[in-house]
């Protein structure tokens, strides 16, 4: 991975104005897969800027009235287009 800064759960929720519960639910649904970072004997979740971009797109679609599954489809389509 390049030197992009990884974000904590709290940073992501503040940036997107969502709850931790919502972030973890989206994670449970497989939308994103945070990185596991070890600090001493503890493991912490960290999110890439790409994870945040994906979640931001999904949140925008949800705010427009799309269902979660449709918002995921649309965000995934946009992400795959931007990679080509």
Q: Is the pLDDT of residue 77 over 90?
A: no
Contact criterion met (CB below 8 Å) for 67 and 54: no
Q: Is the pLDDT of residue 78 over 50?
A: yes
Structure confidence at residue 80 as a pLDDT band (50, 70, 90): confident
Assess if residue 13 is contained within a domain: yes
Q: Is the pLDDT of residue 50 over 70?
A: yes
Please report the beta strands in 1-84, taking only residues with DSSP state E, as ranges in sequence order: 35-39, 42-46
Write the CATH number for 68.
1.10.1660.10
Q: What is the pLDDT of residue 18?
A: 96
Q: How many domains does the chain have?
A: 1
20 against 80, higher pLDDT = 20
Assess if residue 23 is contained within a domain: yes
d(CA 45, CA 7): 9
d(CA 13, CA 21): 9
Assess if residue 24 is contained within a domain: yes
Contact criterion met (CB below 8 Å) for 62 and 41: no
Assess if residue 1 is contained within a domain: no
């Amino acid at each position: 991975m390049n030197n992009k800064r990884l974000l904590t759960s709290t940073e992501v929720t503040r940036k997107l104005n969502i709850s931790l519960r919502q972030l973890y639910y989206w994670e449970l649904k497989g939308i994103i897969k945070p990185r596991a970072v070890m600090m001493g004997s503890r493991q912490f979740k960290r999110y890439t800027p790409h994870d945040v971009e994906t979640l931001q797109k999904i949140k925008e679609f949800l705010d427009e009235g799309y269902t979660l599954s449709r918002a995921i489809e649309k965000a995934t389509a946009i992400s795959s287009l931007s990679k080509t």
